[in-house]
Amino acid sequence: MNAASPAASSAAQGAKPPILLITGVSGSGKTTIGSLLAGRLGWEYAEADAFHPPANIAKMSAGHPLTDEDRWPWLDNIGRWIDETTARGRPGVVTSSALKRVYRDRLLAGRPQVRLIYLDADRETVARRLTARNGHFFPPELLDSQFGDLEPPADDEHPVRVKVDDHDSPLTVAERLVHAEQLEAVEAAHDRTEAAHSQTANDQAAHGKEAGEA
């Protein structure tokens, strides 16, 4: 029998609902796989690009790499989304390149419910995808910058590493994650918790009404 994943164990213990942080270089499939996971599970979803200030988007569109100073507000915006989603009692999926350890530390600090997923794509795969991509503001010329900044997650970050290439479809990768991380069990546990909370609230309301009529 497979051991329970950290996300499944936390859900079973009634901890905060999990947030999956999908990371990797641009072109690794974060948006596609993240949205597939969220849709498959019925979880909240947010795309990293939506959190960039306009100045960052303009800079990347012009082919200029972002500095750490450019990235701090972006990372903090993602962190706020995580906190707000958790406060609503909802599990979620959010993407972020989070190329450096310091970026991931900023997102994970004080957020034990966040599960780090790293999409490990090689340079050739990413180059092909970026060259073929249309309608995205990330120019292929920034490939060198991406891999230059990349610090793959270390073991002490407890990442889920997913090898990404052109052999497996994004749907296959998403389904593999669902089963490997036992995310269906996580969703079922979350549904049970919500149902229990709802029943408690209904019971309290009924008790209050009976007391008022007595």
The per-residue pLDDT for range 49-86, each reduced to its tens digit, is: 899 999 999 998 887 888 999 999 999 999 999 999 99
6 or 98: which leads in pLDDT: 98
How much is the average pLDDT of 173-183? 85
Band (195; pLDDT cuts 50, 70, 90)? very low
Q: Is the pLDDT score of 14 beyond 60?
A: no
Whether the CA torsion 167, 153, 25, 18 is positive or negative: it is positive
Q: What is the pLDDT of residue 21?
A: 97
Q: What is the largest CA-CA distance in the chain?
A: 75
Q: What is the pLDDT of residue 212?
A: 59
Copy the structure tokens of residue 162. Answer: 């997913």
Amino acid code (one letter) for 20 = L
Q: What is the pLDDT of residue 42?
A: 93
Q: Is the pLDDT score of 119 beyond 80?
A: yes
Q: Is the pLDDT score of 202 beyond 60?
A: no
SS (H, E, C) 29-93: CHHHHHHHHHHHHCCEEECHHHHCCHHHHHHHHCCCCCCHHHHHHHHHHHHHHHHHHHHCCCCEE
Are 90 and 43 within 8 A, CB to CB?
yes
Band (192; pLDDT cuts 50, 70, 90)? very low
- Give the mean pLDDT of the chain: 82
Within 10 Å of residue 57's Cβ, how many Cβ atoms? Answer: 13
Q: What is the pLDDT of residue 168?
A: 83
3-state SS, residue 3: coil
The phi, psi pair for 44, rounded to 5°, reads -65, 150
The per-residue pLDDT for range 148-171, each reduced to its tens digit, is: 899 999 999 999 999 998 888 999
How much is the average pLDDT of 112-117? 96
Share of the chain above pLDDT 90, in %: 54
Q: What is the pLDDT of residue 60?
A: 83
How much is the average pLDDT of 103-128? 94
Task: Return all residues near 162 (Cβ < 8 A) that are at least 6 apart.
Answer: 117, 118, 119, 120, 173, 176, 177
Q: What is the pLDDT of residue 193?
A: 46
Contacts 24+ apart (CB under 8 A), 82-87: 82/19, 82/21, 82/107, 82/111, 82/114, 83/111, 85/19, 85/44, 85/46, 86/16, 86/17, 86/19, 86/111, 86/113
The whole-model pTM stands at 0.78
